Structure 1
Amino acid sequence: AKKDGLTIDTYEKWFRDNDRAMTDGPTTPGLVRIHVRQGSDKIVGASIVGPHAGDLISEITLAMRAGVGLGTLASVIHPYPTYADAIRACGDQYNRTRLTPTIRAAFRQFLRLTL
């Protein structure tokens, strides 16, 4: 990315916070790290280290080839608990960055009026 002059944002989820990893052992090492073009959810790369990394990376490579963004990966329904939930969690992290203070305030006002 640096070589191509891209600025990226990185989202990561450690397996120690993943419920499936916890069932395998409380100290299961590893993480999912997904890199997107700054200001968008276009995936430009990813690293997955730990159990089942080879299986998990397929979802990321498919998304990259199909032009599916990280925000969309947050809506993929995964069985629970699975290591793949770490990919969804990275997508959730990205989606939370889209909730600007102005949108958050408007949403709160809307909820006050409707509840």
Structure 2
Amino acid sequence: METSVKGIYAIGDVTGKIQLAHVASAQGLVAASNAAGFIRTMDYAVVPGCIYTSPEIATVGLTEAEAARRGHKVKVGKFPVGANGKSMIEGEREGIIKIITDSETGKILGAHIMAPRATDMISEICVAMKLEAPVKEIADTIHPHPTVSEIIMEAAFDVEGLCIHKK
């Protein structure tokens, strides 16, 4: 985050990078660490995008079409929010999750969520992508029940055609 002037750091919109508040915060942490002598770099590979509507929309990584254009053999898992127990209880049934994976490696290439609290839930996908965990790891992780976040697990199961709660 150091500029062309030694000892001067820039973060946020002036960097010309992704113009999101959470990116600026991450840049600030990197800049502060570097200014203090701890060398860190900024990783823009996994950055969630969030839209604070009702229902919320959150996205990270590639779309199905982008992944295919980049030469990936794509496998997709989807799950409707309306089939989720907590969403039924709360009467918030609108939405869907879609997870895009590489069919050969199981690596998560992207995810898109339209659901209540989607902007909170996208972090689980971001961590999995950052760690390069295959989608099976999400499917095999016990999720609390009933929670809306179970839609992530259900979509992960759906990648392999193993989702049992789908309408």
TM-score category (smaller protein): 0.7 to 0.9
- For 2:98 and 2:158, the matched residues in 1 are separated by 11
SS of 2:97's equivalent in the other structure is strand
1:44 matched to 2:109? The reply is: yes
Q: 1:2 aligns with which of 63, 68, 72?
A: 68
Mapping of residues 72-87 of structure 1, within 5 Å: 72-87=137-152
State the shift of 1:93 in Å: 2.3
What residue identity is the alignment partner of 1:6?
H
Structure 2 counterpart of 1:63: 128
SS of 2:151's equivalent in the other structure is helix
Render the CA deviation track for 1:34-92: whole Å, top value 9, x for unaligned.
00012331100000012100011000010000011111101212211111111111222
- For 2:161 and 2:114, the matched residues in 1 are separated by 24
Any unmatched runs of 5+ in structure 1?
Answer: 98-115
Q: Which has the higher contact order (CA 8 A, sep 6+)?
A: 1
Write 1 or 2 for the structure with the bigger share of helix: 1
- For 2:130 and 2:123, the matched residues in 1 are separated by 11
Q: Which has the larger radius of gyration?
A: 2
What residue identity is the alignment partner of 1:12?
K
Identity %: 29
Matched positions, count: 96
- For 2:77 and 2:129, the matched residues in 1 are separated by 15
Task: Using structure 2 for the length normalisation, give the TM-score.
Answer: 0.53
SS of 2:99's equivalent in the other structure is strand
Task: Using structure 1 for the length normalisation, give the TM-score.
Answer: 0.76
Q: 1:12 aligns with which of 78, 85, 89?
A: 78
**Would the alpha carbon gap of residues 8 and 95 (structure 1) be closer, same or farther in structure 2, given more than 3 Å must change?**
closer
- The root-mean-square deviation of aligned C-alpha atoms, in Å, is 1.6
